Structure 1
Amino acid sequence: MSEQIKHECGIALIRLLKPLSYYQKKYGTALYGLNKLYLLMEKQHNRGQDGAGIATIKLDVQPGKRYISRHRAMGANAVAEIFEYVQNKFAEVQKNTPELLQDTEWLKENISFTGEVLMGHLRYGTHGKNSIESCHPFLRQNNWMTRNLVISGNFNMTNVDELLEQLFELGQHPKERTDTVTVLEKIGHFLDTENQELFDKYKADGFSNEAISHQIAEHLDVASILRRSAKTWDGGYTISGILGHGDAFVMRDPAGIRPAFYYHDDEIVIVTSERPAIQTAFNVPLESVKEIKPGHALIVKKNGRVTEEQFREPEVQKSCSFERIYFSRGSDASVYRERKQLGRLLCPQILGAIDNDLKNTVFSFIPNTAEVAFYGMVEGIHKYVKQYQRDTLLNRADRISDKELEEVLNIAPRVEKIAIKDVKLRTFITQDADRGEMVAHVYDTTYGLIKRGTDNLVVLDDSIVRGTTLKQSILKILDRLGPKKVIVVSSAPQIRYPDCYGIDMSRMGEFVAFEAAISLLRETGKEAVIEEVYQNCLESQKLGNKQVKNYVQQIYNQFTDQQISDRIAKIITPKEIQTEVQVIYQTLDNLHKAIPDHLGDWYFSGNYPTPGGNKVVNKAFMNWMEGKNQRAY
């Protein structure tokens, strides 16, 4: 993507099902779990570069001994910093008494982070503060082991105010108005309730207080706690949690918006946000890694029992398609295939835009995440060439000359690397004029490949959000090559609506498609539509969540996709360039053909998978109308 946007966080959860001595004996290290956690987090580094954190819990620790460890760090190198911090604890032992590194009982009793339950989190901050306090995991601590709670997640809730009000009604006083705090406290409340109910039950049965603690740890109904906690949540979420005595869970929202993959055998249970992380770190085949079903939680009891239990009624699955287009690593086999198919399906539109003139067209892409879709597009062009050659040679009535035959057989797409990402500019440039000049040089180009005034240049991007980098940098640089026409192709459809489930796209004015639709309304004398939509959005605030519709769709319904694409081309074309610019977007139909199992497309279609989504999009439009540059949830 030419414009980086921040997005979903990443999670990793490991439960070692054997004693630490087992891993010491089999794998030669008591740090097996920590080593694997590091690998899982590094293999998902693309999911968070604002910060990271880990937490571990030791099982069956004697009273008075610390059993929960946590460390968090900020910045792009947070994962390395965290594990260097942890490694230093063992380095001292290695230096002075190396034989103790083989003594798993001593390590567990004396060195932190030597636990059997391990959690990791990678953070991309979509909004608000970016501080160490914002980094997961979060702790809710208590002297009762079974009331301790550690959570981390990849989630955004659309109804935070409603959830906070529920906490107030319960008598709580949350310290912050954030979805993380509301989730932590909501689960924590019902964890406390479950503990108290079990305590009262076993107390009535005559158990001693010490015996009751063991009974609670054994009989806590994690699924029931999650059912009661998540009853009114509206959002996209994958949330991992560990209870102080060792029960662990990972829960996934009812529409399956956020991803969650898992693997388990008799030694270990692993859950991550991306499948290839598990495949690489544990060398397991693709078919052995499963997805947690929407509305279900994978639960690992302290005794090692693994179940997948429903906590909310599953809805029509609307897994995030942006995961497949851009966010998830292309090393996932299905993601790779889907991205190639996105490129292939664009070929008819591209060939139409260049009048099938392959001789005078150069194909390229904007690094780096569009590369796989580009391979698919090139394969599609090759398929067209083969069909053209076949039809030309088979359907000729007369004998073809050697020269004509050579020309037909030599037809092939001209594939070149034109755009090169050169440097990440530093933010010490403060004046707008200077910053604009610097941004123009973020990308460089390869000279001498384009025939001036003759060649078309097709450049593939995986999505176009704001269009600013295209306008300020890429198109200016490509214009220097002198192409007759530049065709910017997006492997994703037009991004028209805000996301409220994890991606940093929450303000209407940031979308070039919205800017295009508004300018067309004003130009064609349909400004009344803007005010009508605004009034509908205002009125919708009086309605319950389930009654609210997405009124912003009316803005786009006035025009065809092609009209909006043509206006986007005008908007992103710098005034000073000579080259004609055309923009081609993926169609929604082709998106669903390429990615049939991930139908979440609300940022393209406006069809939100939860009631809160409609409320958010209307609020985002109201904010735009009122000049408020703030998130809508």
Structure 2
Amino acid sequence: MCGIVGVVSNAPVNQLIYDALLLLQHRGQDAAGIVTQHERKFFMHKAKGMVRDVFRTRNMRALPGNSGLGQVRYPTAGDASSEEEAQPFYVNAPFGIVLVHNGNLTNAHVQKAELFNTDHRHTNTESDSEVLLNVLAHELEKATRGTSLGAAEVFAAVANVHRRVRGSYAVIAQIAGHGLLAFRDPFGIRPLCIGKSKDGTVMVASESVTLEGTGHVFERDVAPGEAVFITLDGQVHSQLCAERSQLSPCIFEYVYLARPDSVLDGISVYQARLNLGQTLAKRVISMVPPNEIDVVIPIPESSRPSATELAHLIGKPYREGFVKNRYVGRTFIMPGQAVRTRSVRQKLNAIASEFEGRNVLLVDDSIVRGTTCREIVQMAREAGARKVYMASAAPPVRFPNVYGIDMPTKEELVAHGRTIEEVRQIIGADALIYQDVNAMKKAIGALNTHIKDFDASCFDGIYVTGDITDSDIARMKDQRVVSRASDDDDVHQAQSNAASA
């Protein structure tokens, strides 16, 4: 999971890209990078850390130009400790190309071998994004042999990229002296949208909140398999480049990843979470009589919309029982189980008066590893709760995700291979209520009937690309980022006031 943005303007874009990355900080807290273009030269600064820490005044002054792109990184493959794997990535031929990527290639190993043996291109890191950049560069080189580069050649190259690579990818690339290219995988798994400002500036970004928060008007989502090419004078060209495409966005974006004030593929993230609260209320009523619940308390912050709707429907008061320290990052995307465990009590503090002597229903957006839930249930008991019920707005996470979310190993998922009763015992709750998979899909899908299916693979084990085998999952497990291989590595613990989804 990463956040990406690209801009073409008639004025300097360094500050605009910086502001956009701040609005995307929730999508990645490991590293940040910006590239701008001025007189056919690229100017780059990238480093590990949060946006506000990576970019100082001297760095911003060294980023001239009226077009550029940026990324906030949350690594899922490769070596998170290596600054070389921070994005953007750059190749000098053809033309000079820089690229940022949100997603995860599932056949990067095949493409890496083909790049070396057939295309005679070298990659210097373990990042699948560098593989994607070199595939794009090779296809652009083929498309422009004996001719100049225009929109037609760009679209031909992207069509060949779609034929070669598999997985999830929302991509923004800058081609030196020509323009900005953005494209999305044929399933539209990861989000990407485009908008304009009154002065003609064109922006492409992961979430609509990025456009709105920087004074741009949202125009539309980039379609699955579509490429958008923006020339340096602001002309926008677009074309569907995939042979077959279908919109199957990642449902976890709506459950947890995206900001609630974003609209992804025509669906309000906030309304999606309200709808999840409605369906979850029905599950709660069927398992725990409302007269046994005194109060509904959300686990900040993603679960608040679902919790408010649930409380209203079961007729119980909604109260804020936990205070969040906004200067500690999101535990789900922290690198290392020990770091996650230590950070929970730094991140949340219970208000004892809201728990003492009460039967409380805690509502979380999802339960992935169970570490946070177990700690929070214990905190509620220590604050004086008589009984602690736990409800999850998402179904049990039972399967690895291979499309860019850090849940790639079955062993780390608390619900994998366990019954709900066994999970309840692990987290220590008096009752555990999960959302139903089909109810989740219906609740969110009702907000855009044009979406026929979602990628809900971490819940139902169905991978929308249709090409994932057990051996693929085992291989990707071995390729996990180095920093997540050790529970003792707390180098990357984020200190963030990032907007939480």
Q: TM-score range by the shorter chain?
A: 0.7 to 0.9
Give the counterpart letter for 2:461 in structure 1. G
**Shift of the alpha carbon at 1:442?**
5.7
- Which secondary structure does the structure 2 equivalent of 1:489 belong to? strand
Change (3 A) 1:220 1:621: closer
- Which secondary structure does the structure 2 equivalent of 1:363 belong to? strand
- Residue 223 in 1 paired to residue 155 in 2? yes
**Shift of the alpha carbon at 1:280?**
1.9
Change (3 A) 1:86 1:493: same
**Shift of the alpha carbon at 1:279?**
1.2
Change (3 A) 1:616 1:329: farther
Among 223, 230, 233, which residue is 1:300 paired with? Answer: 230
**Shift of the alpha carbon at 1:418?**
2.3
Q: Is the 8 A contact 1:340 1:372 kept in 2?
A: yes
**Shift of the alpha carbon at 1:256?**
0.4
Tell me the residue number matched to 2:466: 611
- Residue 45 in 1 paired to residue 25 in 2? yes
User: How far apart in 2 are the matches of 1:147 and 1:434?
Assistant: 43
**Shift of the alpha carbon at 1:592?**
1.2
User: How far apart in 1 are the matches of 2:355 and 2:177?
Assistant: 66
Change (3 A) 1:241 1:42: same
Report how many residues are paired: 461
Change (3 A) 1:173 1:54: closer
Q: Percent identity?
A: 26
- Residue 152 in 1 paired to residue 100 in 2? yes
Q: Is the 8 A contact 1:294 1:314 kept in 2?
A: no
For 1:445-594, what aligned pairs fall within 5 Å after superposition? 445-450=350-355, 452=357, 455-471=358-374, 473-516=375-418, 564-573=419-428, 581-594=430-443
Change (3 A) 1:120 1:440: closer
**Shift of the alpha carbon at 1:82?**
2.2
**Shift of the alpha carbon at 1:312?**
1.1
- Which secondary structure does the structure 2 equivalent of 1:498 belong to? coil
User: How far apart in 1 are the matches of 2:471 and 2:72?
Assistant: 26
Tell me the residue number matched to 2:497: none
- Residue 239 in 1 paired to residue 239 in 2? no
Tell me the residue number matched to 1:418: 321
Give the counterpart letter for 2:464 in structure 1. P
Q: Is the 8 A contact 2:85 2:127 kept in 1?
A: no
**Shift of the alpha carbon at 1:622?**
9.5
Q: Is the 8 A contact 1:493 1:587 kept in 2?
A: yes
Tell me the residue number matched to 2:491: none
Tell me the residue number matched to 1:139: 90
Give the counterpart letter for 1:273 in structure 2. S
User: How far apart in 1 are the matches of 2:386 and 2:410?
Assistant: 33
Q: Is the 8 A contact 1:260 1:274 kept in 2?
A: yes
Q: Deviations over 1:581-630 (max 9, x none)?
A: 2111111122112211472211000110113433466537998xxxxx97
Give the counterpart letter for 2:168 in structure 1. G
**Shift of the alpha carbon at 1:270?**
0.7
For 1:57-456, what aligned pairs fall within 5 Å after superposition? 57-58=37-38, 61=39, 67-76=41-50, 78-79=51-52, 81-82=54-55, 84-87=57-60, 89=61, 113-130=63-80, 131-142=82-93, 147-167=95-115, 168-198=117-147, 216-218=148-150, 221-264=153-196, 267-282=200-215, 284=217, 288-302=218-232, 304-332=234-262, 334-357=268-291, 361-382=294-315, 413-421=316-324, 443-450=348-355, 452=357, 455-456=358-359
TM-score (norm 2): 0.84
Q: Is the 8 A contact 2:408 2:477 kept in 1?
A: no
User: How far apart in 2 are the matches of 1:435 and 1:34?
Assistant: 34
Q: Is the 8 A contact 2:408 2:473 kept in 1?
A: no
Alignment root-mean-square deviation, CA: 3.0
User: How far apart in 2 are the matches of 1:571 and 1:132?
Assistant: 37
**Shift of the alpha carbon at 1:415?**
2.6
Q: Is the 8 A contact 1:54 1:120 kept in 2?
A: yes
- Which secondary structure does the structure 1 equivalent of 2:46 belong to? strand
Tell me the residue number matched to 2:2: 9
Give the counterpart letter for 1:504 in structure 2. D
User: How far apart in 1 are the matches of 2:91 and 2:477?
Assistant: 37
User: How far apart in 2 are the matches of 1:506 and 1:496?
Assistant: 11
Tell me the residue number matched to 1:106: none
User: How far apart in 2 are the matches of 1:231 and 1:433?
Assistant: 41
User: How far apart in 2 are the matches of 1:192 and 1:438?
Assistant: 48
Q: Is the 8 A contact 2:402 2:473 kept in 1?
A: no
- Which secondary structure does the structure 1 equivalent of 2:469 belong to? helix
Q: Which structure shows the higher strand fraction?
A: 2
User: How far apart in 1 are the matches of 2:210 and 2:171?
Assistant: 18
Unaligned runs of 5+ in 2: 330-336, 446-450, 479-483, 487-501
**Shift of the alpha carbon at 1:464?**
0.3
**Shift of the alpha carbon at 1:45?**
1.2
Give the counterpart letter for 2:205 in structure 1. T
Q: Is the 8 A contact 1:227 1:312 kept in 2?
A: yes
Change (3 A) 1:482 1:114: closer
Give the counterpart letter for 2:109 in structure 1. D
Change (3 A) 1:122 1:437: closer
User: How far apart in 1 are the matches of 2:346 and 2:45?
Assistant: 39
**Shift of the alpha carbon at 1:86?**
3.7
- Which secondary structure does the structure 2 equivalent of 1:221 belong to? helix
- Which secondary structure does the structure 2 equivalent of 1:599 belong to? coil
Q: Is the 8 A contact 2:272 2:443 kept in 1?
A: yes
- Which secondary structure does the structure 2 equivalent of 1:54 belong to? strand
Give the counterpart letter for 1:139 in structure 2. Y
- Which secondary structure does the structure 2 equivalent of 1:282 belong to? coil
Tell me the residue number matched to 2:332: none
Q: Is the 8 A contact 1:498 1:620 kept in 2?
A: no
User: How far apart in 2 are the matches of 1:125 and 1:342?
Assistant: 28
Q: Is the 8 A contact 1:218 1:302 kept in 2?
A: no
**Shift of the alpha carbon at 1:67?**
1.9
User: How far apart in 1 are the matches of 2:271 and 2:304?
Assistant: 12
Q: Deviations over 1:286-338 (max 9, x none)?
A: xx431000011111134543122122134332101111111111112611111
Change (3 A) 1:568 1:51: same
User: How far apart in 2 are the matches of 1:126 and 1:510?
Assistant: 14
Give the counterpart letter for 2:431 in structure 1. Q
**Shift of the alpha carbon at 1:245?**
1.4
Q: Deviations over 1:107-136 (max 9, x none)?
A: xxxxx5332221111111223322321111
User: How far apart in 2 are the matches of 1:438 and 1:84?
Assistant: 31
**Shift of the alpha carbon at 1:492?**
0.7
For the pair shown, the structure with the greater C-alpha radius of gyration is 1
